[in-house]
């Protein structure tokens, strides 16, 4: 487990940045693990028929990838006390190139008394932020 000195943290401090490559294979694997077999996540024709720009990554897959930055920083997924996001834009997964999701985490607030830090996560795909108000409360 990572040792973090809460007194040394500063609001605005970057805790990490990670790139996640999502491929069509990733979507199939996630569908199997989650049970979400909605065909907009693997069929171009179905996605187009409902007005989507292409096959979309599952929202929960995007959300799960984003929080990994905070998990890696704190060293234990059990230290995530709360996590919330708003889905603002889709992640379109190209059949050949996939989609690169870039996630950066920053300290948004520090509660020394309760030993909590709020991690503000920014998830960007194709130069567009795809999650709004993505915040994880982490026990330090």
| 41 domain-assigned | no
**CATH value at residue 93:** 3.10.129.10
58 SS3 class? coil
Pick from 1-5, 101-105, 133-137: least confident: 1-5
| 71 domain-assigned | yes
| 17 domain-assigned | yes
Structural domain harbouring 92: 8-22+58-139
User: pTM value?
Assistant: 0.94
Average pLDDT, the chain: 97
| 91 domain-assigned | yes
Q: How many domains does the chain have?
A: 1
| 50 domain-assigned | no
| 53 domain-assigned | no
Could you tell me if 138 and 120 are in contact, meaning their C-beta atoms sit under 8 angstroms apart? no
The distance of Cα 124 from the centroid of its chain, to the nearest Å, equals: 9
Does position 1 have pLDDT exceeding 80, yes or no? no
Q: How many C-beta atoms lie closer than 10 Å to residue 49's C-beta?
A: 11
Does position 19 have pLDDT exceeding 70, yes or no? yes
Does position 3 have pLDDT exceeding 90, yes or no? no
104 SS3 class? strand
Give the pLDDT confidence score for residue 54 in this predicted structure: 97
């Amino acid at each position: 487990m990572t040792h973090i000195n809460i007194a040394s943290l500063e609001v605005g401090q970057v805790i990490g940045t990670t790139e996640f490559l999502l491929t069509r294979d990733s979507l199939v694997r996630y569908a199997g693990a989650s049970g979400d077999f909605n065909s907009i996540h693997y069929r171009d024709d179905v996605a187009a028929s409902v007005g989507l720009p292409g096959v979309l990554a599952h929202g929960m897959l995007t959300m799960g990838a984003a929080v990994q930055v905070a998990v890696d920083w704190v060293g234990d997924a059990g230290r995530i006390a709360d996590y919330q996001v708003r889905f603002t834009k889709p992640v379109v997964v190209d059949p050949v190139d996939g989609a690169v999701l870039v996630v950066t985490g920053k300290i948004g607030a520090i509660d020394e008394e309760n030993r909590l830090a709020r991690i503000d996560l920014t998830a960007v795909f194709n130069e567009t932020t795809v999650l709004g108000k993505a915040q994880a409360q982490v026990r330090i």
